[in-house]
Amino acid sequence: MAHPNLFTPYERGALKTGHRVAMAPLTRNRAVGTVPGPLNAEYYAQRAEAAILVSEGTHPAAIGQGYLDTAGLHNDEQQAGWTLVADAVHAAGDAKLFVQLMHCGRVAHPYYTGETPVAPSAIKADGGTFTPDGQAEFVLPRELATEELPALVEDYVQAARRAVAAGCDGVELHAANGYLLHQFVASGTNHRTDGYGTDVAGRIRFPVEVATAVAAAIGPEKVGIRISPGHPFNDIEEEQVHETYDALIRALAPLDLAYLHVLDSSGYAGYPVLEQARELWPGTLMGNEGFSEEFTVEEADQMIADGKLDLVAYGRRFIANPDLPTRLRTGAELNEPDSDTFYAGGPKGYTDYPTLEQAA
Ligand SMILES: Cc1cc2nc3c(=O)[nH]c(=O)nc-3n(C[C@H](O)[C@H](O)[C@H](O)COP(=O)(O)O)c2cc1C
């Protein structure tokens, strides 16, 4: 048999896709009042050619919100918004819609939540978040009490149940980029001494508990997880990256989740995450390269042919090209993303990038 490439159908367990081009999770700050609406439904439906369409980071609890007009999934109104999105996506194409559950932890902000953020330890992140009133410094978070952790697991479980009830195909647990689950894993942000910190086994415990509980609640085939080992985003510092992520991947492997989504952060801590994941993770592996501008279709094809990856997730190129799989398959020119409108409100730079057909 010929080697598979980016456009070969993929099947493993319950996951079946017509090709290997996925859309990476992208915060776009257009879910006004944290509730997805018709504009968001239109944006996602335009991108329904994706094999897996991972949504914008979405907070599973009000206290997990860190940015303006990011979507939530912890109340009925938000769930109805996601129903609108799921219906539009499924009417438009074959994409499997996975809602990314992003609890911001210490980089959530009282400007949006009205509360002191929670985190594994009371350690403030350097930096800040954008607000309509200007840049707001991150604040000192409050350390989560051990007794609070089961309710936090339950927040993820309830959000996942709501995603399924809304007609989404699953959820992606965001354990990357310095958000709450990454804050537990990373030695710099987790100084706990209660069995949820201290050593590698302790630091990976909470994310594994969340993944286990969510998988039990909605089915492992509806749960993906994203990691970015050693990535310093959001002021993350990690020691023992190799031991930590080998242990995390090993602990998650038996759950038989839909996929492991790896942001190739090997350039930061030297941990060869794609290679390690391939060796330690028996299931579907989705890679997001992190990304060189010149990452070509040929390179992606080669990675798939060599068995290094099963699916490739594209972020910025999917912002600018709603029909990205078609464009990559046909070698068509790509629209350039406009970074000035990545986080701006409204349809400009959101739903107005033309498809090939519209451009013709
Ligand atoms: C505008 C923007 C928003 C993003 N939002 C998220 C997010 O909500 N969750 C996440 O895991 N990654 C997020 N990322 C990271 C992307 O998923 C991806 O890893 C990154 O853009 C590199 O891939 P690319 O070169 O294909 O764009 C975001 C990136 C951009 C540019």
Task: Give the pLDDT of the chain (360 residues) as one tens digit per residue.
Answer: 578 999 999 999 999 999 999 999 999 999 999 999 999 999 999 999 999 999 999 999 999 999 999 999 999 999 999 999 999 999 999 999 999 999 999 999 999 999 999 999 999 999 999 999 999 999 999 999 999 999 999 999 999 999 999 999 999 999 999 999 999 999 999 999 999 999 999 999 999 999 999 999 999 999 999 999 999 999 999 999 999 999 999 999 999 999 999 999 888 989 999 999 999 999 999 999 765 667 788 889 999 999 999 999 999 999 999 999 999 999 999 999 999 999 999 999 999 999 999 998
Residues with CB under 6 A from ligand 1: 24-27, 56-57, 100, 102, 174, 176-177, 226, 263, 288, 290-291, 314-317, 342
| 236, 316, 339, best to mutate for ligand 1 pocket (most atoms within 8 Å of CB) | 316
With respect to residue 269, please indicate whether it lies within any of the assigned structural domains: yes
Extended strands (E) in the chain: 10-12, 15-17, 21-23, 52-58, 96-101, 118-119, 128-131, 134-137, 142-143, 170-175, 223-227, 259-263, 285-288, 311-314
Closest CA to 287 of 264, 305, 268: 264
Residue 200 CA to residue 204 CA, distance in Å, equals 6
Residue nearest to atom 12 of ligand 1 (CA): 25
With respect to residue 169, please indicate whether it lies within any of the assigned structural domains: yes
Residues 6+ apart with CB under 8 A from 92: 45, 46, 48
Residue 234 backbone zone (phi > 0: left; psi -120 to 50: alpha; other: beta): left
Residue nearest to atom 24 of ligand 1 (CA): 315
Query: Which amino acid type is present at position 355?
Result: T
Residue 311 backbone zone (phi > 0: left; psi -120 to 50: alpha; other: beta): beta
Task: Please identify, by atom number, the ligand 1 atom nearest to the C-alpha of residue 57.
Answer: 8
With respect to residue 318, please indicate whether it lies within any of the assigned structural domains: no
CB atoms within 10 A of CB 304: 22
Residue nearest to atom 6 of ligand 1 (CA): 26
Q: How many domains does the chain have?
A: 1
- Range(s) of the domain holding residue 64: 10-284
Residue 350 CA to residue 161 CA, distance in Å, equals 28
User: For residue 194, how far is its CA from the centre of ligand 1 (angstroms)?
Assistant: 33
The residues annotated as belonging to the active site are 179
With respect to residue 354, please indicate whether it lies within any of the assigned structural domains: no
User: For residue 206, how far is its CA from the centre of ligand 1 (angstroms)?
Assistant: 24
**Residue 33's domain is classified under what CATH number?**
3.20.20.70
With respect to residue 70, please indicate whether it lies within any of the assigned structural domains: yes
With respect to residue 168, please indicate whether it lies within any of the assigned structural domains: yes
- β-pair partners for 16: 11
With respect to residue 4, please indicate whether it lies within any of the assigned structural domains: no
- β-pair partners for 143: 119
